[in-house]
Chain A
Amino acid sequence: MQIDIIKRDLLLATRSKGDWVMGVIFFAVFLALAVIALGNDSALLRQIAPAIVWLAFLMSALLSFGQIFTQDYEDGTLAQILIFQQSPLKIVSAKFIAYIITALMPLWFAIPLAGLMFNLTIDVIAGLMLSVLIGLPAIAAYGIFASALTVVKGASGVLIVLICAPFLMPVLIFGISAVDIYTVEGLWSAPYKALFGLSLIACATALPAASASIKTGFE
Chain B
Amino acid sequence: MSAYLTFNNISVSRGHTLLFEGLSLTLSSGDVLWIQGTNGVGKTTLLYLSTGLARPDTGALTWYKDNMPVEASEVVSFQGHQDALKPQLTAFEDLSFWADLCEYSGDLEPVFHQIGLQSRKDVLTGKLSAGQKRRLSLARLLISQKPVWIMDEPSAVMDTAGRDLIDHLIHEHVSHGGCAIIASHSPARKLGVSPRLLTLNAESPSP
Q: Is A83 an interface residue (CB 8 A)?
A: yes
Q: Is A77 an interface residue (CB 8 A)?
A: yes
23 interchain pairs (CB within 8 A)? A4-B97, A11-B89, A15-B88, A15-B89, A76-B80, A76-B81, A76-B83, A76-B84, A77-B84, A79-B78, A79-B80, A79-B84, A80-B84, A83-B51, A83-B52, A83-B73, A83-B76, A83-B78, A84-B73, A84-B98, A85-B73, A86-B72, A219-B54
A187 to B102, CA, bound (A): 44
Q: Is A8 an interface residue (CB 8 A)?
A: yes
Q: Quick check: B53 and A84 within 8 Å, CB to CB?
A: no
Given A11-B93, A16-B88, A218-B53, check contact A81 B80 (CB 8 Å).
no
Q: Which residues of B sit under 8 angstroms from A15, Cβ to Cβ? A: 88-89
Q: How many residues of B contact A (CB 8 A)?
A: 29
**Min CB distance, A89 to chain B, in Å?**
14
Q: Is B203 an interface residue (CB 8 A)?
A: no
Q: Is A185 an interface residue (CB 8 A)?
A: no
Chain B, Cβ-Cβ closest to A86:
B73
Q: Is A41 an interface residue (CB 8 A)?
A: no
Q: Quick check: A86 and B101 within 8 Å, CB to CB?
A: no
Q: How many residues of A contact B (CB 8 A)?
A: 23
Given A75-B83, A79-B84, check contact A86 B89 (CB 8 Å).
no
Known pairs A76-B81, A82-B53; list 20 more (Cβ under 8 Å). A1-B101, A4-B100, A7-B100, A12-B86, A15-B89, A75-B85, A76-B83, A80-B98, A83-B51, A83-B52, A83-B73, A83-B76, A83-B78, A84-B101, A85-B73, A85-B101, A86-B71, A86-B72, A86-B73, A219-B54
A86 to B71, CA, bound (A): 8
Measuring CB to CB, which residues of chain A are less than 8 angstroms from any residue of chain B?
Answer: 1, 4-5, 7-8, 11-12, 15-16, 71, 75-77, 79-86, 218-219
A75 to B89, CA, bound (A): 14
Q: Which residues of A sit under 8 angstroms from B52, Cβ to Cβ? A: 83, 86
Q: Quick check: A219 and B53 within 8 Å, CB to CB?
A: yes
Q: Which residues of B sit under 8 angstroms from A1, Cβ to Cβ? A: 100-101
Nearest 4 pairs between A and B by C-beta? A76-B82, A15-B88, A76-B84, A4-B100
Q: Which residues of B sit under 8 angstroms from A81, Cβ to Cβ? A: 101
